[in-house]
Each structure stands twice: as structure tokens, then as C-alpha cells.
Chain A
Amino acid sequence: EVQLVESGGGLVQPGGSLKLSCVASGFSFSSYEMNWVRQAPGKGLEWVSYISSGGNSIYYADSVKGRFTISRDNAKNSLSLQVKSLRAEDTAIYYCARWLQDSYYGMDVWGQGTTVTVSS
């Protein structure tokens, strides 16, 4: 079964850090570009970060640039998002989503999400 499973969310104080993880199974992880997308409570979807299949190309939303770091380990079929200097507005469900490399098939598989709550 094709699956993405996120973990690592939790309650953290403003200014704190977390490392979110996404583990892939059931498909060739190294053939897919990966994205993190978040959704604040009661709000819409916000794209957060992208990493190419080989990890050579990385992009961030302006709202997280300089504070978040995306990475991947194709040998372990895993994607990570290191989040630092957290703010209340980073409170959200964080989803990972795959995109077949060099295609226009879109974000066709998503994980169930992991919740990050930033509060004192």
C-alpha cells in the first residue's frame, strides 16, 4: 500500500524547535519530489517547502524561510522538516505530499498529518 506517515508534532513554546518526519512506503521514494503543506486551525492550505527527488533543489515559503529546513534520506525513505524559532502562527497540521519527478501529476498522495501547537 502506498503510504506517507508523518510524526514529530507536539506542543512547543514560542521560540522552540521540533523535527517533523515523514516516512514513505509502497513506492519508489527516490523517484518523487516531496512537499510539506500546512493548515492552521480553521484555515486553508499553505504550501511550506519543496525538495527535489535527489535533494539538490529546495524551496521555502517566505513565511518560513530562514527558520525551517527540509531534508530527505532516500536510503531510509524519509523526509524531514526541522522547524525552529516557532511562532504562534506556525500552529497547524503539517502534511507531507509526494509529486512524481519531472511530471505534472501533482501531489497525488498525502500523509494523515502531524499537529504542531505553539503556545506558552
Chain B
Amino acid sequence: SYELTQPPSVSVSPGQTARITCSGDALPKQYAFWFQQKPGRAPVLLIYKDNQRPSGIPERFSGSSSGTTVTLTISGVQAEDEADYYCQSAATSGYVFGTGTKVTVL
């Protein structure tokens, strides 16, 4: 079955930049979406269509795509950005989520 692979964890100091990658063979042909999930909360859509931000999402969150890898970048990381992050894309019949990345703010 189709998989999207993310690093299990990323650590970053406040004010620095965090980059989270997501790799999948179909990503050159399918859009990617990114979600943030904090403990005990439902996921929140951060990025749609590879690099678009929904209204209300801070500008420090951005997305990019290159070949089979998409990247979520958090610029000027804040303590409140500590959370789990998931990429998501389309599969043959349905959708698939990435394995998830825990971002720790040092």
C-alpha cells in the first residue's frame, strides 16, 4: 500500500526554522496537505494544495514541493508550535496520511 514517510521527530530552538519532510512516490502528481495536532485535540489544517495557507494560519507556516518530497517549514518557531505534524495526500482510492513528526521546541 502507498505510504508517506516523515521523520519521527524534529527539535528546534525558539526563533529558529523547522523543516519537516514528507516523501512519497506519487507526490509529483498529487497535492499535499499538512496538519498540526496538539495533545487531546483534533488535527488542524495548516497547508493545502502543497503551499496554500487557509485563513487564520500564521505566515510562519509554509509548504513547498520538489519531486517526491514535500516540506513544511516553520519559520521563527514559537513554543506553541510544539505538536505533531502530519502530511496527507491522495492514494489510488482514498487518502493517506504520513507517519507523523513530533516537533519539540527546546
Contact = CB atoms under 8 A, between A and B. Distances in A.
B97 A110 contact: no
Interface string A46-69: 110110000000011110000000
B29 to A, nearest CB: 13
Interface string B76-89: 00000000101010
A31 to B, nearest CB: 17
B45 A108 contact: yes
Interface residues of B, number: 24
Which DSSP category, helix, strand, loop or mixed, fits chain B's interface? strand
Interface string A18-52: 00000000000000000101000000111101100
A2 to B, nearest CB: 12
A109 B36 CA distance: 13
A115 B27 CA distance: 32
Contacts of B43: 37, 45, 95, 97, 107, 110
A50 B95 contact: yes
Given A44-B86, A45-B86, A35 B95 contact: yes
Interface string B58-72: 000000000000000
A47 B94 contact: yes
Contacts, number: 60
A104 B99 contact: no
How many A residues are at the interface, by size bracket? 20 to 34
A62 B95 contact: no
B94 A44 contact: no
A10 interface: no
A44 B96 CA distance: 11
A46 B97 contact: yes
Contacts of B93: 59
A85 to B, nearest CB: 20
A61 B3 CA distance: 13
Given A50-B94, A106-B48, A107-B33, 9 more contacts: A37-B97, A46-B97, A47-B94, A50-B95, A106-B45, A106-B54, A110-B42, A110-B43, A113-B42
Interface of B: 1, 31, 33, 35, 37, 42-45, 48-49, 54, 84, 86, 88, 91, 93-100
